[in-house]
């Protein structure tokens, strides 16, 4: 077996699955799970087998409507994770250069490496508020770069990419014959107004997303890729090698969820806003942190002023039963990530415990 391909599996996902559980959980990056009983479906609405050939038409139509694209541009996938894998599989060949933002959601880097890319990184700098900066991309891009990969909203900081910056990245990509893959799984969490997908900005853009993060519907695995029709056709055929067929009952539940989406989004928005307000109100309790509370999104990415953040995360978990994601999973060991999508009461208690842990940390390190 080629061991190189196996070692590129993802430490972050393993952490999220096996080591992030805690009584007070700030490690999650999405909105708390939406219950099945909240969907207006009965067993009679479900079926095991159905007409899912290259997409289940009622689902594709709804996704196309949601993202305001032609149905021919929608490829339904098993979550954003498979959307990214599938899109990357089609957008570069082994040995090509792929330019990925830094800090990044680790699976984006791991997937590109797994598929044989030579991965280069461009920084989204903390001191610039993690802004997407075309100049940084121009510095790193090479004649062999076939793909630029970024998230919008940015995971871990929740910083929006902004239309102008995206257009600039599109220009750079075009002049190098490259595509831009924008993982928009957190874009859905701008509940205030429907933010258009980067797909609309030009031919070089391919966008991925799902119902996972903003709506608490991760278990539906309802993901998608937005791509020009020719590429979409290629992606559907490539998917024959991966998933072949989705779970039809999942497609039917996804249709029901999309028909019910305004109510699901309302619940999510209320939870995230309550948590953001709690965090803002407590900002004074977090003296030991460099903390910017973003306007949107479900995560924040503070930096610990002193000491080792990994040890701080351990203290928080062991003595305060509260979990966050250590920054080392984002190549920023002095940071950690806090999730703002949990139950508001749990989040309030978790943040209070974080404040207590910080005070103890301050005494220990000063």
Positions touching ligand PLP (CB under 6 A) are: 29, 79-81, 105, 151, 155, 183, 185, 210, 212, 218, 223
Minimum Å gap between C-beta 210 and ligand PLP is 3
CB of 307 to ligand PLP, least distance (A): 27
Distance between CA atoms of residues 105 and 342, nearest Å: 20
197 versus 361: smaller Cβ distance to ligand PLP: 197
Give the CA distances from residue 2 to residues 12, 93, 148, 348, in Å, rounded to whole numbers and listed in that order: 22, 18, 26, 47
State the Cα–Cα distance between residues 83 and 104, nearest whole angstrom.
17
Q: Kindly state the smallest distance separating residue 3's Cβ from ligand PLP, in Å.
A: 26
| Residue reference for tokens 């510095």 | 139
Closest distance between ligand PLP and the C-beta of residue 202, in Å? Answer: 22
Q: Which of 298, 225, 261 is nearest to 34 (CA)?
A: 261
Nearest distance, CB of residue 349 and ligand PLP, angstroms: 23
Residue 77: what are its φ and ψ, rounded to 5°? -135, 170
State whether residue 87 is helix, strand or coil. Answer: helix
* Closer residue to ligand PLP, CB minimum distance, 151 or 254: 151
Instruction: Find the angle CA(230)-CA(231)-CA(233) to the nearest 5 degrees.
Output: 70
Minimum CB distance to ligand PLP smaller for 222 or for 357: 222
CB closer to ligand PLP, 338 vs 358: 338
* DSSP helix/strand/coil, 119: strand
Residue 268 or 358 having the CB closest to ligand PLP: 268
Strand order in the sheet with 97-102: 74-78, 222-226, 205-210, 179-183, 145-151, 97-102, 118-123
* Residue 211: partners with Cβ closer than 8 Å, 6 or more residues away: 188, 217, 218, 220, 222, 223, 254, 257, 258
Least distance CB 105 / ligand PLP (angstroms):
4
Q: Which of 90, 110 has the CB closer to ligand PLP?
A: 110
- Minimum CB separation of residue 151 from ligand PLP in Å reads 5
Q: Strand locations in the chain, DSSP E?
A: 24-25, 74-78, 97-102, 118-123, 145-151, 179-183, 205-210, 222-226, 289-290, 299-300, 303-304, 322-323, 325-326, 336-339
DSSP-H helix ranges across 227-286: 229-242, 248-259, 261-281
Q: Measured between alpha carbons, how far is 19 from 31 in angstroms, rounded to an integer?
A: 19
The least distance separating ligand PLP from the CB of residue 190, rounded to whole angstroms, comes to 15
Residue nearest to ligand PLP as judged by C-beta position: 79
Task: Choose between 25 and 361: whose C-beta lies nearer to ligand PLP.
Answer: 25
Residue closer to ligand PLP, measured from CB, 320 or 330: 330
């Amino acid at each position: 077996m080629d061991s190189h391909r196996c070692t590129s599996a993802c430490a972050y996902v393993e952490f999220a699955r096996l080591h992030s559980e805690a009584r007070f959980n700030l490690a999650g990056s999405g909105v708390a799970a939406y219950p099945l009983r909240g969907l207006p479906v009965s067993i009679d609405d479900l079926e095991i087998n159905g007409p899912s050939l290259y997409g289940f038409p009622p689902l594709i139509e709804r996704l196309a409507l949601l993202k305001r694209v032609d149905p021919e541009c929608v490829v339904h996938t098993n979550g954003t994770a498979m959307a990214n894998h599938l899109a990357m599989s089609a957008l570069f060949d082994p040995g090509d250069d792929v330019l990925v933002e830094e800090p990044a959601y680790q699976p984006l880097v791991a997937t590109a490496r797994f598929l044989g890319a030579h991965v280069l990184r461009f920084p989204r700098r903390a001191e610039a508020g993690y802004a997407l900066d075309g100049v940084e991309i121009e510095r790193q891009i090479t004649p062999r770069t076939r793909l630029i990969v970024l998230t919008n909203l940015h995971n871990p900081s929740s910083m929006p990419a902004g239309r102008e910056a995206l257009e600039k990245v599109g220009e750079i990509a075009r002049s190098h014959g490259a595509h831009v893959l924008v993982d928009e799984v957190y874009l859905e969490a701008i509940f205030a107004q429907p933010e258009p997908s980067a797909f609309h900005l030009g031919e070089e853009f391919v966008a991925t997303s799902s119902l996972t993060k903003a709506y608490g519907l991760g278990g539906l695995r309802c993901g998608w890729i937005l791509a020009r029709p020719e590429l979409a056709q290629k992606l559907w055929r490539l998917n024959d090698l991966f998933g072949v067929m989705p779970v039809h009952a999942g497609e039917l539940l996804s249709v029901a969820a999309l028909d019910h989406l305004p109510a699901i989004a309302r619940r999510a928005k209320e939870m995230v806003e309550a948590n953001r307000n709690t965090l803002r109100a407590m900002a004074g309790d977090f003296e030991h942190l460099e903390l910017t509370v973003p306007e949107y999104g479900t995560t924040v990415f503070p930096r610990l002023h002193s000491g080792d953040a990994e040890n701080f995360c351990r203290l928080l978990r062991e003595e305060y039963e509260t979990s966050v994601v250590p920054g080392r999973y984002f190549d920023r060991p002095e940071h950690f990530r806090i999730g703002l999508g949990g139950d508001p009461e749990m989040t309030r208690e978790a943040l209070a415990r974080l404040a207590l842990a910080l005070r103890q940390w301050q005494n220990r390190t000063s």
